[in-house]
Structure 1
Amino acid sequence: MPDAMPPRAVPAPNLDFRDFVRPGDFVVLGQSCAEPVTLTQRLLADRADLGGITCFIGIPAGETVKPEHADHIRFVSYCGTGSNRALAAAGALEVYPGHYSTLPEFVSRADVVLVQCAPPDARGCYSLGLADDYLTAAIDSARVVVAEVNDQVPVTPGARHLTDRDIDIVIRTSRPVAESPAAPPTPETTAIGAFVASIVPDGATLQFGIGSVPEAVLGALGVRNDLGIHSGILTDAAVELIDKGVVTNVRKTTDRGVSVAAVLIGTRRLFEHVHRNPAVSLRPITYTHDPERLAAQHRFVAINSAVEVDLTGQVNAEVAGGRYVGAVGGGGEFLRAAARSNGGLPIIALPSTAGSRSRIVDRLSGPVSIARSDAGIVVTEFGIADLRGLPLTERRERMLAIAHPDQRDVLRAMASNW
């Protein structure tokens, strides 16, 4: 087989998307800290000349994409987090309401993929470095792959490595990777973290979502021993547990000794930790969200948050105040896996209120992201409600007990019979 032709190298200022993007194309971008910011900015600058395209965007780390960019681009995302909220509020974001595990199939229709990579090693391999998740599926199906090769991207073990055969166009940059620092804890999230930590056993394998509540939970787990990580994301708070020796991964059923995630969301501390670290593995969604692999983990503990939970255990993780702010994500999939795992814990944790509004409700104000048939353990700053194996009347009593005290009488009076 002849050697692959090297990708076309283009100086960043000379990149013209009109050379390879066709009207109607579906363009997929790396998400969060893996966003190829230089490429995104250039694409947005060229948008009026591209004949109308659709862009799939994930969790934003910054505010590169703004509502005004929707004049010539149709934006689609699985989430309304971060600056995507402004897009949604402006009616400029279409939502894909599928489970996270279905994203590889959804993005496999990609025509063009924009990724950020580390420089090639001696074998000519470019590490995706900051995210594999759904990018592998998009890369394998796209007509054109454009890589921003940034010498500040870490080389992460397990991450998809591209070669010249995979890349059509390269631009080279040297810029700090987009960071996504965690929000500071509040008294409420600190209390929630302590409650959740009190039921997490030594040797558990953790999955955790994005946001202040899962971060607070990780921050409270410093007294545990031999925890493992198999999660959609890896964060600074997880690195803190690794550095303290709390996370060792020695009791995991699979990938023993290794923390597994699909995307890195954090700061330079995280990026430096994963660089050439054999105790970390960045994998695609088909691996991180595989239901059999998850359920097989000993003591698999899923920790996710929500917008609101009703008195029967139904979860709305997507819409608040009529606006799309969250995602279906992988919460339901992880909860089901934790319920099947030997010693597993399916946990939804959230503050009891948002301002004066109760987040423990009689009826959801948004969609049912997770059915009550998948309900497990719900935690607020007022305690723990284990709903597993309970009929509706007993579920209501346990949920009322963890609602804000000022809301309990109103909720009890409103409580439905179903």
Structure 2
Amino acid sequence: MTFPDPVAIPAGLRLTDWIRPGDSVVWGQAAAEPEALTSALVAQRHAVGPVTATIGLSLTATTDPAHADRLRFRSYCASGTNRRLAQAGALEILPVPYSTLSRILAPVDVLMLHLPPPRPDGLHNLGLVNEWLAPLIDSARVVLAEVNDRMPDVPGDIAVRPERLAAVVRSARPLRSLDSAPPSDIDRRIAAHVCGLIEDGSVLQIGLGQLPDAILGGLRDRRDLGVHSGLISDGIAALTEAGVITNARKTRDRGVTVTGWLLGGERLWRFAHRNPGLRLCPTSYTHDPAVLSGHDRLVAINSAIEVDLTGQINAEVADGAYIGAVGGAAEFLRGAHGSRGGLPIVALASTVRRTGASRIVARLSGPVSTPRSEAGIIVTEHGIADLRGCTLAERRRRMIDIADPAQRAALDAAPPLP
């Protein structure tokens, strides 16, 4: 992964005016990171003193392990440039359900926001995120902001009063984007199986990456899809602009795409800016199984590092290294189980591309991120295993059938899990 260059520090900015030794500092993830402020924190960390920085998915140079001499980094994930911290042993993982993050973090000492310019009423929308940041605004001792002229003004249910901001740094810099390689042939084969399950009028929850891109690309012939997701990407914007996503049949939030944050590129930023058909909401809403199950035909599409023959899912550790997250998969899968006509889907390639090792396994090599009680439909390029209502023996047979053919004999010979 390319390690990005840091943003220039505004002249005269002294974070010691607001940050004290021992403080907890939180900022937004991905393009919502206020880099004018975080770059200053990195540069001034010895003057500021030791602080605990809680971060999400990072795309910036803030997460250089060299900065861990004074910054204690915590995160729910090891994604993006967080991987570098994790490899150096400088990242502390919070292995918690995504919806609980704001409750776990509150109260915080210093909250750093990356905001768009104020609305005509003088208030700021939150830009690209709401999720676990917005509930922390009231609990923070100090709120600092980078106000970026290029930040999209995305509608949400929380606005920031200018008097709540102890200091504001102005900028007009481009936003960070996450590069995604084109889907592979295996991605397209998996996507074809997944897309075959999705009916017109379904409500989608889906993540980022090559496989989600392939799935979204395979839905262009559907009608009146809706979205209620933890995050959205360029693919959601493309399907909306194509008239595929209308949210017209949603049983909740009809006519509106609901999400917690956005990660994509210029197409997504243009789509999101002042779009009345889009609303940013906190994780207490986006990930609430009761809210999710209130949707008809909720299709929750998540992925995994490996799945065992009983349906237990590891989404965190590969080859002994922490690379993923607990995230919100279990909450979305639970919501889809409770949805009328819902589909709790976990989609993954049957083997590791680099080594050929099976990702359908007799026993997990990492933690159980999602228990088998939440397992639903597992999809690989070799087919679909619907585990709902199945006994352990029935699950075992169905899982072996979607494993790589070269791995099936070994899986069949492995002793069954109790």
| TM-score, shorter chain, exceeding 0.5 | yes
Q: For each residue in 1:197-255, what CA deviation from the matched residue of structure 2 results, as whole angstroms up to 9, or x when unmatched?
A: 00011100011123322222112111211100000001001111111111110010111
Contact 2:310 2:417 in 1 (8 A): no
Match of 1:252 in 2: 250
Match of 1:357 in 2: 357
Q: CA deviation at 1:417?
A: 4.2
Q: CA deviation at 1:121?
A: 2.0
Q: What is the one-letter code of the residue matched to 1:411?
A: L
Q: What is the one-letter code of the residue matched to 1:127?
A: N
Match of 2:282 in 1: 284
Q: What is the one-letter code of the residue matched to 1:416?
A: P
Q: For each residue in 1:259-306, what CA deviation from the matched residue of structure 2 results, as whole angstroms up to 9, or x when unmatched?
A: 110000100100000101101111111121122111000101100001
Q: What is the one-letter code of the residue matched to 1:402?
A: I
Q: What is the one-letter code of the residue matched to 1:382?
A: H
Contact 1:182 1:266 in 2 (8 A): no
Match of 2:191 in 1: 193
Q: CA deviation at 1:40?
A: 1.1
Q: Secondary structure at the match of 2:301?
A: strand
Contact 1:48 1:72 in 2 (8 A): yes
Q: 2:189 and 2:220 mapped to 1: Cα distance?
A: 15
Counterpart mapping for 1:234-273 below 5 A: 234-273=232-271
Contact 1:28 1:138 in 2 (8 A): no
> Residue 55 of structure 2 is aligned with which of 44, 54, 57?
57
Q: What is the one-letter code of the residue matched to 1:306?
A: A
Counterpart mapping for 1:194-213 below 5 A: 194-213=192-211
> Aligned-pair RMSD on alpha carbons?
1.2
Contact 1:204 1:300 in 2 (8 A): yes
Match of 1:8 in 2: none
Q: What is the one-letter code of the residue matched to 1:54?
A: T
Contact 2:63 2:84 in 1 (8 A): no
Q: For each residue in 1:4-54, what CA deviation from the matched residue of structure 2 results, as whole angstroms up to 9, or x when unmatched?
A: xxxxxxx92211111111111110011011111111111111111222110
Q: Percent identity?
A: 51
Match of 2:395 in 1: 395
Contact 1:222 1:246 in 2 (8 A): yes
Q: CA deviation at 1:128?
A: 1.2
> Residue 318 of structure 1 is aligned with which of 316, 320, 335?
316
Gaps in structure 2 of 5+ consecutive residues: 1-8
Q: CA deviation at 1:181?
A: 3.1
2:359 aligned with 1:373 = no
Q: 1:182 and 1:261 mapped to 2: Cα distance?
A: 20
Q: 1:116 and 1:370 mapped to 2: Cα distance?
A: 32
Q: 2:60 and 2:304 mapped to 1: Cα distance?
A: 22
Q: 1:146 and 1:376 mapped to 2: Cα distance?
A: 43
Q: Secondary structure at the match of 2:163?
A: coil
Q: 1:106 and 1:173 mapped to 2: Cα distance?
A: 31
Q: 2:417 and 2:345 mapped to 1: Cα distance?
A: 25
Contact 2:233 2:262 in 1 (8 A): yes
Contact 1:358 1:404 in 2 (8 A): yes
Q: 2:105 and 2:123 mapped to 1: Cα distance?
A: 23
Contact 1:316 1:366 in 2 (8 A): yes
Contact 2:130 2:156 in 1 (8 A): no
Q: CA deviation at 1:159?
A: 5.3
Q: For each residue in 1:91-133, what CA deviation from the matched residue of structure 2 results, as whole angstroms up to 9, or x when unmatched?
A: 0000000000101102212100111001112211112111011
Contact 1:145 1:168 in 2 (8 A): yes
Match of 1:83 in 2: 81
Q: 2:404 and 2:163 mapped to 1: Cα distance?
A: 57
Match of 1:306 in 2: 304
Q: Secondary structure at the match of 1:140?
A: coil
Contact 2:126 2:156 in 1 (8 A): no
Q: 1:14 and 1:171 mapped to 2: Cα distance?
A: 11
User: Which stretch of structure 1 is more off in the superposition, 376-385 or 156-165?
Assistant: 156-165
Q: 1:149 and 1:168 mapped to 2: Cα distance?
A: 13
Q: 1:132 and 1:238 mapped to 2: Cα distance?
A: 18
Match of 2:3 in 1: none
Gaps in structure 1 of 5+ consecutive residues: 1-10
Q: In the comparison of the two structures, how many residue pairs are matched? A: 408
Q: Secondary structure at the match of 1:122?
A: coil
